[in-house]
Amino acid sequence: MDPVLLSAVDEILRRHPGEPLALRARRVLDGPTRVAVRGRRGTGRDTLARALRDRLGVDPIVPGDDLDDADAWCHAIVGWPRSEDVEALRRLPADRTVVVLTKSDALGDPELAADRARECAAVLGMPVHPVSAVLGCVNLSADEVAFLHAMVDADEPVPSMAAAFVSGDADERRLRTGLLRRLDQYGLLVAVDEIAIAREEGRRIDADDLHRLLIAESGFAALRLVLDAMDAAVDAHRRDVVIGLLDRLAATGVDRDPIEAMLAQVGR
């Protein structure tokens, strides 16, 4: 955050409370990184946005929101890139864009997901990062965690077909359906395996432990490093946006001389 710009914007707001351009400039300078989540329909954009917020502390911008103040871009693909993915990425700033292979857990193996991401990267000409958005925002209830323990007690396997998992009376089917929605098949396998391993070691995994283990499988820790590496580009972008807003404000006659002097100082 540029202290000179921040001080100038705060001074303008002190003299002109409610000035729209100054208020927008203050929003641009402040707050977490605003990441526009994009991708084709069916790529799980809303779930990805929740995982970005929950795991990385960014402010996601989803389709339908105003893109004007986006600091960075997260483009989601599923399976293989399509021509519309290539075209969309061409229009985005390379130094502030990350591509994710979301729903990577559907491949069933982290190594397979990593291989697929590398193959997608070769097509797109830029890195692709495998993530599981579902596991990135996992939040199981106490009843769901207890049910997973009961599955291990009963030595119940996780079936290969989701429909085979949803069984029992109405309440049990509802609980099983919720688990599938929150974890998908890969998350179920990880949860049951971790509970079983802990039990063999004389430990019992509680909800917090299970959440940590599942989140560790989501790929968002690696994605954090990618977004952190964009900090300098994001700061430069925010600076350019604020200078443009102050230019527009000066053109309206509001604090023209002080703004022009400040812009000369920061070197627009």
Q: How confident is the model at residue 108 (pLDDT cuts 50, 70, 90)?
A: confident
- Per-residue confidence (pLDDT) for residue 234, from 0 to 100: 95
Fold of 3-135+219-266: Rossmann fold (3.40.50)
Q: Which residues pair with 76 in a beta bridge?
A: 39, 100
Which spans in the chain are helix H? 3-15, 20-29, 45-56, 83-90, 110-124, 133-136, 142-153, 162-165, 170-200, 207-216, 220-228, 231-251, 256-266
For residues 89-113, average pLDDT? 93
| Percent of all residues in the chain with a pLDDT value above 70, rounded to a whole number | 98
Which residue pairs from 166-170 have beta carbons closer than 8 angstroms and sit at least 24 positions apart in sequence? none
Q: Which residue has the higher pLDDT, 9 or 50?
A: 50
For residues 63-69, average pLDDT? 74
For residues 71-89, average pLDDT? 95
C-beta of residue 180 within 8 angstroms of C-beta of residue 165: yes
Helix axes of 142-153 and 207-216: crossing angle, nearest 10 degrees: 80
Q: How confident is the model at residue 1 (pLDDT cuts 50, 70, 90)?
A: low
d(CA 31, CA 145): 35
Q: How confident is the model at residue 30 (pLDDT cuts 50, 70, 90)?
A: confident
For residues 3-26, average pLDDT? 87
Question: Is a pLDDT exceeding 60 seen at residue 48?
Answer: yes
- Per-residue confidence (pLDDT) for residue 268, from 0 to 100: 55
For residues 16-35, average pLDDT? 90
Question: Is a pLDDT exceeding 80 seen at residue 26?
Answer: yes
- As annotated, the residues of the chain forming the CATH 3.40.50.300 domain(s) are 3-135+219-266
Q: Which residue has the higher pLDDT, 260 or 222?
A: 222
- Per-residue confidence (pLDDT) for residue 69, from 0 to 100: 79
Q: What is the pLDDT of residues 134-178, one digit of tens each?
A: 999 999 999 999 999 999 999 998 887 777 888 889 999 999 999
Contacts of 208 (CB under 8 A, 6+ apart): none
d(CA 149, CA 167): 17
Computed over every residue of the chain, the mean pLDDT equals 91
